[in-house]
Structure 1
Amino acid sequence: MRFVVVTGMSGAGKSSVLKMLEDIGYFCVDNLPVPLLPKFAELVSVQGENAMHQAALGIDIRSGEGLATVNKVLENIEDLKINYEILFLDCEDAVLIKRYKETRRQHPLAVGGRIEDGIKNERKKMKFLKQRADYIIDTSQMLIRDLKGEVDKIFVKNEPYQNFYLTVLSFGFKYGIPTDADLVFDVRFLPNPYYVESLRKKTGNEPEVRDYVLNCKEAGMFLDKVEDLLVFLVPQYIKEGKNQLVIAVGCTGGKHRSVTMANGIYHRLAAKNYSAKVEHRDVSKDALRNK
């Protein structure tokens, strides 16, 4: 039997994760009163013909004063020899604020007050659960499909999971540096396919452009050095409690060189089993302007 406690910051995606788990066969209960948690754990751990093999329980700030007793309740569940896992959904404050404003919902701890204050208070109250979590997913840069991919990786494929998510993002300097970038690399030192007539309208996702860029020996050297840097940096960020990193790779228009090199960095990170995705922010902007 697999018993999962799904928790985290309000607005970070807990409800979506519970629906995803339900879709893959989990029996899910959300916002159960805290005093009933041990009884629920006992029920789902019962063996036999009608036993539940997968169950998930949602806990969040809506538990009110009962949240303060969750630590003790979890210890009681451990005393009953019931195994459980904790999945914590986190998100940057600025993204949470944006989500609340877009949905026009009230934060549970900010009724009549500022959303920022509610999030700050919630983060303090939820800190102990984040510290106990087996898995931490930061949804700040994730689409629903990305989140589903992470959930499948943990609960369907049972792959080893690191509580750290990497986004490799290509961009064009003429459209501005991404505001959420943690690291920025400038690849305008590489030969520009834009000046090759047959490559101008293609992108770094196409073999002809990729081969043209990577045919420059400095491109391979750059990838080697960035890989070495990230292999050093990622464990340091994890040690300091960081859950995600946005690596921005820029060229002039964000269509050729940056796309090729972002893809190269992504493939190297994926080969090291990091949870990562690649995005190309500006790859289609010139095409849209020319329509």
Structure 2
Amino acid sequence: MSDVLDAGVRWRTEPDRIEVDGVPIAYRRDGTGDPVLFFHGHWLTRCWSPLHAGIAEGADLIAPEAPGFGDTPCPSWVTGRDDVVLLYRSLLDALGLDRVHVAGYGLGGWLAADFAVFNPHRVRSLALLAPYGLRVPGRPIADVFIMNPADYDDMYYGGDPVDGVVPGPGTPAQGGPEGFAARYGDMGAAARLIWDFRYDLKLEHRLPALGVPALVVAGDGDRIVPAEHPARWAELLGTGVRTVPGGHAFPVQRPAETAALITAFVSGVSDA
């Protein structure tokens, strides 16, 4: 993994790149042990965060950036989550990986679940952090596309923000114009995937039939993804919910604790 850049973006690192199906995918990889494919959410790209580093202490962590996010360009044919899932399957082939543990955060949790549903033979386990993707009547996930930047600290962090880590597009003053442009681009890429459909009703049928070991983790003060959502994911996957102190940004607020849950889970599955 490359050195940190002096770019004014916290934890920013230069990615490696690999061409897959004509797309130069930016990715970061570090650690030893069983491979874990990590799906980012609608933010936290272009970086190797303490969460990534923590997981890499106990696993071989591969963290690609989806088309349109971070430093991966978006070809015209990527118009939905299914295209991302197929591209990531080809990424595993390009990296010479047969089966991997899969983890995802937020929107990335939804993509990770889709990947597992359509490629169960490639997935050893599934770890979901505050996942999007289900419909819970009366308890919708917050609309991050219309959120006022003044509310970010409260909504994402529960009033306990991490300095220099802005979750949405915000304003040019938050992290400088380069950071603003990068986050705005990521939000546009997220909108391409979930603007029209904020949940997939088919997951209600597909998840119970998945049959892979699963871990669901939630922030105990999450104001983006209500607690009923991880509870429903856990119910459908036949597991429980592990909670971590913090808001929706708990992987940033409590990276060591979150990473430890993932690595212990992966290790337990591998040793079974």
Shorter-chain TM-score bucket reads 0.3 to 0.5
TM-score, normalised with respect to structure 2: 0.34
Which structure has the bigger radius of gyration? 1
More helix by share: 1
TM-score, normalised with respect to structure 1: 0.32
